């Protein structure tokens, strides 16, 4: 973004920082910057504090790789959940979406992306090896994983990732299922409603 001599440098820096966020173009960034400029100082300070806490306090769960402030995360630490059932998702937002449906009582595994050769993302860039290791470790501990639900999004990349994981799990004694097609092709779990997610979970199919 070209600097505007009519704006103070501090405002220009904020606009440039906001425009780096996904879905925020220069015009939206400018509107947000001037909204904060006109708002009470407490609002900007609260936002700054929240951003500092975000980077200082969050980490990845060492078990499922979801974002958390404690390790293991609350889901992995919950003994009332079914740890023999693992739902594999692309991103942490997908965990939040499934939890909103309130029908799933297993645990999760977050890949942090999908296989996408065009974007230079391969299997080694995801948490697939950690998933395999997790399943093997559970089996050795006498608490085997019974089922892995592949809940990657119904996109080309999501299907490619699901198929790859299915092949990797072929030698393990675990049932592999895929979410039913209650989810629209090309859609994201993040934007699915609770009813759609419930039906997809309940109608999952063996791969």
Determine, yes or no, domain membership for 64.
Answer: no
Q: Is the pTM of this model over 0.85?
A: no
Name the 3-class secondary structure at 108.
Answer: strand
Q: Which residues face 109 on adjacent strands?
A: 88
Whether cis (ω within 30° of 0) applies to the bond prior to 2 is: no
| pLDDT score, position 181 | 66
Contact between residue 86 and residue 109 where contact means Cβ atoms under 8 Å apart: yes
Q: What band does 179 get if pLDDT is binned at 50, 70 and 90?
A: confident
Q: How many structural domains comprise the chain?
A: 2
CATH number at residue 34: 1.10.8.420
Indicate if 36 and 94 belong to the same structural domain.
no
CA distance 105 to 149: 12
Determine, yes or no, domain membership for 142.
Answer: yes
Indicate if 116 and 184 belong to the same structural domain.
yes
- Residue of 154 and 172 predicted with greater confidence: 172
Find how far residue 11's CA is from the centre of its chain: 32
pLDDT at 190 over 80: no
CATH number at residue 109: 3.40.1360.10
Give the range of the structural domain holding residue 148, as residue numbers without chain letter: 80-206
Indicate if 102 and 159 belong to the same structural domain.
yes
Query: Which helix H or strand E contains 110, and what residues bound it?
Result: strand 106-110
- Averaged confidence pLDDT in the chain: 91
Q: Give 46-79 pLDDT, tens digit per residue.
A: 999 999 999 999 999 999 999 999 999 999 999 9
């Amino acid at each position: 973004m070209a600097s505007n001599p009519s704006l103070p440098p501090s405002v220009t820096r904020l606009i440039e920082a906001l425009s780096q966020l996904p879905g925020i173009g220069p015009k939206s960034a400018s509107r947000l910057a001037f909204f904060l400029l006109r708002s009470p100082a407490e609002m900007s300070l609260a936002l700054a504090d929240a951003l500092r806490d975000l980077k200082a306090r969050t980490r990845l769960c060492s078990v499922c790789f979801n974002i958390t402030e404690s390790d293991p995360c609350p889901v992995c630490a919950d003994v009332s959940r079914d740890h023999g059932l693992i739902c594999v998702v692309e991103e942490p937002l997908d965990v939040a979406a499934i939890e909103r449906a309130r029908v799933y009582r297993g645990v999760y595994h977050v890949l942090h992306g999908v296989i996408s050769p065009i974007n230079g993302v391969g299997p080694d860039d995801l948490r697939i090896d950690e998933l395999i290791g997790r399943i093997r470790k559970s089996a050795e501990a006498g608490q085997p994983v019974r089922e892995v639900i592949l809940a990657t999004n119904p996109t080309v990349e999501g299907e490619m990732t699901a198929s790859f994981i299915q092949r990797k799990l072929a030698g393990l004694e675990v049932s592999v299922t895929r979410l039913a097609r209650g989810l629209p092709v090309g859609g994201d779990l993040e934007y699915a409603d609770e009813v759609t997610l419930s039906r997809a979970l309940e109608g999952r199919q063996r791969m």
